[in-house]
């Protein structure tokens, strides 16, 4: 699991440090999918500008999605406490100089 998280953090670092190359690579990957098609430059640029690449799982977004699903009757209320265990991710980030924190939004174990 540590190697997976380290690889994810490496990828996040590369994407944020090389946004133009990352955008090109992502578009080429889209075009290489079965039935896939690369995006036109203007569409890719608009789409890419709305993406934030982060190591943080953004637990608050899961909570909001669950709350919204409950509000419209798609989900019964559920206790999400403990759904995230961010200890290892925090260790990996700390080993790289604690480049930021990850927020469990009250959902993280430990």
Q: How confident is the model at residue 100 (pLDDT cuts 50, 70, 90)?
A: low
Mean pLDDT of the chain: 89
**Domain span holding position 87:** 56-110
Number of domains in the chain: 2
Residue 42, both tokens: 């203007």
* Domain identity same for 18 and 66: no
Query: Looking at the structure, do residues 60 and 18 belong to the same domain, yes or no?
Result: no
CA 89 to CA 93: how far, in whole Å?
Answer: 6
* Residue 108: burial class (beta carbons within 10 Å; 0-12, 13-18, 19+): buried
How far, in Å, CA of 48 to CA of 36, rounded? 18
* 21 and 71, same domain (yes or no): no
User: Is 80 within 8 Å of 35 (Cβ atoms)?
Assistant: no
* Strands of 57-104, DSSP E: 84-85
pTM (2 d.p.): 0.75
So what's the pLDDT on residue 33?
94
pLDDT at site 85: 86
């Amino acid at each position: 699991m540590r190697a997976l998280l380290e690889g994810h953090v490496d990828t996040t670092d590369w994407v944020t440090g090389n946004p133009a190359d990352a955008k090109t690579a992502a578009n080429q990957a889209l075009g290489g999918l079965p039935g896939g098609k690369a995006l036109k430059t203007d569409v890719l640029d608009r789409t890419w500008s709305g993406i934030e690449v982060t190591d943080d799982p953004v637990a608050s977004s899961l909570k909001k999605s669950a709350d919204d699903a409950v509000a419209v009757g798609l989900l019964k209320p559920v206790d999400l406490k403990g759904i995230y265990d961010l200890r290892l991710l925090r260790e990996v980030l700390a080993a790289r100089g604690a480049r930021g924190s990850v927020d469990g939004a009250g959902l993280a174990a430990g």
